[in-house]
Structure 1
Amino acid sequence: MNTNAKGTDGRSRAREMVLAAGRGLALAVVSLPSAVLCVCLCLVSMALIPIGVGAFTTPYVVKGVRAYADRRRALAERWGGVRIPSAYRPVPETANPFGRTSALLRDPATRRDLRWLPVDMTAGFLTALLPAVLVLYPLEGFALAAGLWRTMTAGPYGTYGPYWYGFVPVSDQATAFGAAALGAFILVAAHRYTGRAFQLHFRLTEAMLAPSRTELAQRVRVLTETRRDAVDTSAAELRRIERDLHDGAQARLVAMGMDLGTAEMLVDKNPEKAKELLAQARHSSAEALSELRDLVRGIHPPVLAERGLGDAVRALALRLPVTTEVSVDLGAGRADAPVESAAYFAVSELLTNAVKHSGADRIWVDLHHEAGRLRISVTDNGAGGAGGAAIGAGSGLAGVERRLGTFDGVLAVSSPAGGPTMVTMEIPCVLS
C-alpha cells in the first residue's frame, strides 16, 4: 500500500512537472510579444498627449493594458493559485478626453501596470521559461551521451573543441556520459521543484500588480465613510417616514375614527348629519390611502420591484414635463435590489435637477451594463454650469454621490457653460 502511494505521488509530480513546463513555455512565448506591444503603444500614445492626439488614444491603450493585466491575474489564480486583486478606480465615460486620460494615468493601479510591463518582459519572461528549461535541458545531456557530442565537437572543417553542457566540457564519450549524469541530476531536481519554479513567476507578478497596504487602507477608509453616510441617510429617511406618517396618514385616520364615532352616536338622532360624517370619513380614508401609496412609492416604487430598473426609469420619464428619451440595454438580467434602488433614486434626483434648474427642453437617459458595471448617463440640452463646485455644496448631486459611494460607485459631471450637461454614474455590479 505504501509502495502504491509513493508510485501515485511520483506520477502526480511527473504530471505536474510536464504541465508546469508546457504552461510556462506557452506563457513565455505569448507574454513577451504582448508585453512589448503594450509598452510600445503606451510610450507612443503618451508621447502624443501634448499635441492632443494622445488624449484620445491613451484611454483605449490603457484599457487594453488593464485587460491584459486582468488576464494575467486570472492565469495566476487558475494556474498558480495566486489571487491578485484588481483595484482599478472606475473612470466614467465623460465628455472630456483629457480628463479621462488624466484620471486613468493618476490611478495607482494603472501606474503599477505600466511598471509591471517591462519587468514582465525581462524577469517575468525568464521565470516563465524556467520550468521548461528544467524539463527540456536534461534531454540534451542524454542526446550528447547517445552520440550527439560527435556532431557538436567536430565538423567538415576540423574539430571545434569541447562543447560545454552546463559546467561539463564534452569532448569524448566519457565526458558525454558526465553530461548525461548532470542531465539526470537536473531532471531529478525538475521532478521535485518545477512546480515551485513556476510559482516564482506568479509571485513576481503578484509583487508588481498587487495593491499596497497603504492603498488598501485608504480604500477601506473611503468605503467606511460611505457606509457611515449611508447609515446616516437611512436614519434621516426613517425619521422622514415617521414624520410623514404622523402628520399625514395617521392624523387622517385619527380624524376618520372620530367622525365614525360621532356618526355612530348620531345615526338614530340625526341621520342626515351621520351620513355627512360618513361621507367625510370615506373621503379621509381615500386621502390617507393615497398618502400611504405615495409614501410607499418613495421608499421602493412598485414598478421597480415588479418590472426592474429599465421600466421604472421609463415610468419616471413619462411623468416629466420635459421630453425625455430612455435607452436601456441591460439584457434579461437584473441587478441586486439595493443597487437597483440606489440607481433609480439617483436617476430620479438627476431628472428633477434637470427639469428644475437646467432650462432644458430635452433629456436623454442611457442605461447599460458592461464589464461588470452598471453605467447610467443623464444628458440635457440646458444651460449647463453644473460643475464640480456644485457637487460639494450640499446639492442634490452631493446626495447622489454619497448614495453611489455606498456601492463603491462613482459620479462624473461634464457641464460647460452653455451646455449640454452630462452626468455619468457607474456602479460595480453583476446581473442575475
Structure 2
Amino acid sequence: MVSEPLRAYGRRVLTSLYPNLFRAVVQIVVAFTVNLPLFILAVLSIAFIPLGVGVVLAPVVFQAIRSVADQQRTWAAEWSGVAIPSPYRPEPAGAANPWRRLRWLLADPASWRDLVWTILNVPVALVLGVLAGGLAVYGLEGVFLAPWLALISGYGWGPFWPLEDWGAAGIAGSVVLGAALVAVGGPVGPFFLKAHALFGQSLLAPTRAALAARVEQLAESRSETVDASAAELRRIERDLHDGAQARLVALSMSIGLAEEMMKHDPEMAAKLLAEARESSGTALTELRDLVRGIHPPVLAERGLDGAVRALALTLPLPVEVRIDLSGRPGGGPAGRGRLEAPVESAAYFAVAEMLANVVKHSRARRAWLQIEHSGDRLIMIIGDDGTGGADPAAGSGMGGIERRLAAFDGTMAVTSPPGGPTVVTMELPCALSSPRTSPSSGTG
C-alpha cells in the first residue's frame, strides 16, 4: 500500500507538470518565433538607416523588442517571483519626429541590452525550457508509451534504453527510469524556469551604474525640493511679517487710539476707524493673495484646466490656450479626469511662472499655451513671439521651475534663439484619476 506522504508527493509532481510544461513551451515558442525574427529585423533596420528606410523601421522594431521584453518581465515576476524593473529612459518631447525617436531609442543603453537578450534568449530558452518541461515529459513517455509499443511490436525505446528487442527487463527498466525522471523533473522544473528569469534579469534590469545614477538624481532632487520648500516657507513668513501682520498691528493701534479719542474728539475717532476699516480690507486682500500663492482656490475647485484658463485671462497680452486632459487620442471632456493634487499644483505654478516670465521679459505681443495628457505624461508647451534669448541659468525663475518639476521626475526644455520665438516644453510623469473619484468631481 502506498504511503500517504508518497501519494502527496506524487500529486504535487503531477500538479506541477502542466504549468511547467506550458511555461517552458511558451518560452521556447516565443524565442524562436518572435525573438529570432525581431533580432534579424533589428540588424537589417540598423543597416538600412543610411538609406532612410531604417529611420522609420528601426524605431518600430526596437519598440516591438521592448514590448516582448516587458512581457518577459511580467512572466518572470508572475511565474518565478523575479522582479525586473523597467530600465528605459522616459520618452522626450517631440518623439513623434522619426529622427528624434530614433535618436532616443538608440541612445538608450537599455535598447542594446534588449537586443543582446533577444538573440541570446533563443538558445537559453531552448535549453532551460527543455530541462524545465522535457525531463518529466520524457519520463512519462518511458512509463506509459514505450512499454505498450514494446508489447505490441517487440521493440521499443525509453529513457537511456537503446532500440532493441526488449523483454520483461527492458519494460521494467523503462518504467522505473521513466518514473524517476517524472519524480525529479516535476519538482526541478520551476528551478529551471527561475534560472531563465534570472538570465532575463541580468540583461533586462537596470545596470548598477543606472541605479547609482538614479539614486544620485533622487538625492539631488530631494535636496532641491527641501531647499525650495524652505525658501517657500521663508517667503510666506516674510510676506506675513511685512504685509498682513504689519497692517494688522497698525489696525489694532488705530482702533485702540480711536477708543481713547472717542470721549474727547469723536470726529478724529471716526476718522481713525475709517482708516482702520480701510487697513482691514487691505490686509484681507494681502492674505487672500498669500493663500492664492500657496494653493489657488480656483485650482482646487476647477482643476488645472479651469485654473490655467482663468490665469490666462488676467494677462495683459492675448494667450491662445489649448488644453486636453482627457488622456484619449480624440480628446473631449467626456474622458476628463484630475491629476494628483501635488502634481496639479506643481504644473499650475510652473505654467504661472512661465507666463509671468513672458509678460516681464519677452516683450511679446502674443503667447500660446498647450497642455495635454498623453500616455502617462503631462506635456505643457508655452511659447511667445518675443525677443528670445531666454536662459534658465540667468536667474529668470526658470531654474526654480526646473527644480520644482525635478521633484516629480519632470523635465524642462527651452528653445529660445535670439530674436525669438521662445518655446518651453515641460513634462511631468503622472496619471489621471477617474472623473468620478477626482477631487472636484462634485463641484460645478
Q: Please give the range of the TM-score, normalised by the shorter of the 2 chains.
A: 0.7 to 0.9
Which residue identity does 2:145 align to in structure 1? A
Shift of 1:165: 5.4
Match of 2:385 in 1: 382
Distance 1:11 1:322 in 2: 76
Query: Is contact 2:386-2:421 (8 Å) kept?
Result: yes
Q: CA RMSD in A?
A: 3.0
Q: 1:410 to 1:129 in 2, by over 3 A?
A: farther
Shift of 1:288: 0.8
Q: 1:424 to 1:47 in 2, by over 3 A?
A: farther
Query: Is contact 1:17-1:195 (8 Å) kept?
Result: no
Which residue identity does 1:29 align to in structure 2? V
SS at 1:425 equivalent: strand
Which deviates further from its counterpart, 211-220 or 8-17?
Answer: 8-17
1:368 aligns with 2:373: yes
Distance 1:52 1:386 in 2: 34
SS at 2:213 equivalent: helix
* Length, aligned pairs only: 418
Match of 1:401 in 2: 402
1:143 aligns with 2:145: yes
SS at 1:296 equivalent: helix
Q: Deviations over 1:332-353 (max 9, x none)?
A: 5433322222122122223333
Match of 1:426 in 2: 427
1:349 aligns with 2:353: yes
Which residue identity does 2:148 align to in structure 1? A
Match of 2:82 in 1: 82
SS at 1:135 equivalent: helix
Query: Is contact 1:310-1:367 (8 Å) kept?
Result: no
Unmatched 5+ stretches in structure 1: 154-162
Which residue identity does 1:207 align to in structure 2? S
Distance 1:214 1:309 in 2: 37
1:271 aligns with 2:275: no
1:209 aligns with 2:210: no
Q: 1:272 to 1:50 in 2, by over 3 A?
A: farther
Match of 2:318 in 1: 322
Shift of 1:130: 3.2
Match of 1:258 in 2: 253
Alignment of 1:3-402 (within 5 A): 7-94=7-94, 97-141=98-142, 142-147=144-149, 167-174=160-167, 177=171, 178-320=173-315, 321-330=317-326, 331-355=335-359, 356-357=361-362, 359=364, 361-370=366-375, 373-380=376-383, 382=385, 390-402=391-403
What TM-score, normalized to structure 2?
A: 0.84
Distance 2:98 2:393 in 1: 23
SS at 1:84 equivalent: coil
SS at 2:264 equivalent: coil
Distance 2:422 2:196 in 1: 48
What TM-score, normalized to structure 1?
A: 0.86
Which residue identity does 2:36 align to in structure 1? V
SS at 1:268 equivalent: helix
Query: Is contact 1:323-1:361 (8 Å) kept?
Result: yes
Q: 1:54 to 1:258 in 2, by over 3 A?
A: farther
Q: Deviations over 1:288-314 (max 9, x none)?
A: 111111111111111222332232222
Shift of 1:12: 3.2
Higher relative contact order (CA 8 A, sep 6+): 1
Distance 1:399 1:13 in 2: 62
SS at 1:86 equivalent: coil
SS at 1:94 equivalent: coil
Which deviates further from its counterpart, 215-224 or 5-14?
Answer: 5-14
Shift of 1:42: 2.6
Which residue identity does 1:274 align to in structure 2? A
SS at 2:93 equivalent: coil
Match of 1:156 in 2: none
Shift of 1:415: 5.0
Which deviates further from its counterpart, 420-429 or 336-345?
Answer: 420-429
Q: 1:290 to 1:422 in 2, by over 3 A?
A: same
Match of 2:331 in 1: none
Query: Is contact 2:133-2:185 (8 Å) kept?
Result: no
Shift of 1:38: 2.9
Distance 1:31 1:419 in 2: 52
Distance 2:389 2:161 in 1: 76
Distance 1:48 1:324 in 2: 42
Q: 1:365 to 1:44 in 2, by over 3 A?
A: same
Query: Is contact 2:10-2:183 (8 Å) kept?
Result: no
Q: 1:400 to 1:45 in 2, by over 3 A?
A: farther
